[in-house]
Amino acid sequence: MALRLPPSWLQNGSHSAENDRLTTNATWNTSGVVHTNDLKVSPSSGMVLSIALGWATVLGDYQSNMGVYMAYNDAATTVTVTTADATNPRIDKVVLTINDSAYTGSTNNVVFQVVKGTAAVSPVAPATPTNSLLLATVAVAAGTTTISAGNITDSRVRATIDEVTFSAQTTTTVPVRIELNAGQVANALQIVNSSGTVLNGFDSSGNLLTGGIDAASLEYEFIMGAY
């Protein structure tokens, strides 16, 4: 596709949800939970599981250029694991799924669901549905009527954001120390090398001492000046 119109968020423009999700995608670039404890799955009672409140991002994957959906659970929510197989164990998945009929189906919502695996002597986990975030993997023993904490594997990942990158340059490392300027009545900072030579710093009035360190760099590091 070509350049998307209108740009986000043109005052007099008509903005599609997809364009807004692509704008979100400029910050959040993976599916995941936003904070450490968001949407954590834990046992409730019997075969019922509890999903904690919190935020999630889901990178749309029905097709390319869907952008990132944001979902928020504002209170603990429960889901139920279906009855265990009498003979063999199975592995289920707890997921958050975004349904968007603009791409497939007829439903428009966000849901928690338990994806049931196939019972077998050596079971394997089912596939994670499209447009979904995996929250937990659950081992369902044969004939069990209770899911405990030990049966739940936390499968959440943290959503990641695009990070600012900085260029690097080669410098010569010399040992220095930062100390109070004993010659001042008030507290003041100065940088001293291993030979005791004052390289730079601030006096008690906030005036920059002269020395061998670039003044602009020092002012950036010592943004508080005298303290």
CB 54, CB 34: distance < 8 Å: yes
The conformation of residue 135, written as its DSSP 8-state character, comes to E
Mean pLDDT across the chain, nearest whole number?
Answer: 82
For the stretch 107-152, pLDDT in tens is 999 999 999 999 999 999 999 999 999 999 999 999 999 999 999 9
Torsion of CA 157, 65, 20, 25, to 10 degrees: 30
pLDDT value at 95 more than 60 = yes
pLDDT at 220: 40
Structure tokens that stand for 146 in this block: 């209770």
- What is the Cα–Cα distance from 93 to 41, expressed in whole angstroms? 11
Structural element, H or E, at residue 83: none
The conformation of residue 215, written as its DSSP 8-state character, comes to H
Question: Which letter, b or e, does each residue of 80-90 get, where b requires 16 or more Cβ atoms within 10 Å of its Cβ?
Answer: ebeebbeebbb
For the stretch 199-225, pLDDT in tens is 666 655 666 665 544 444 444 444 434
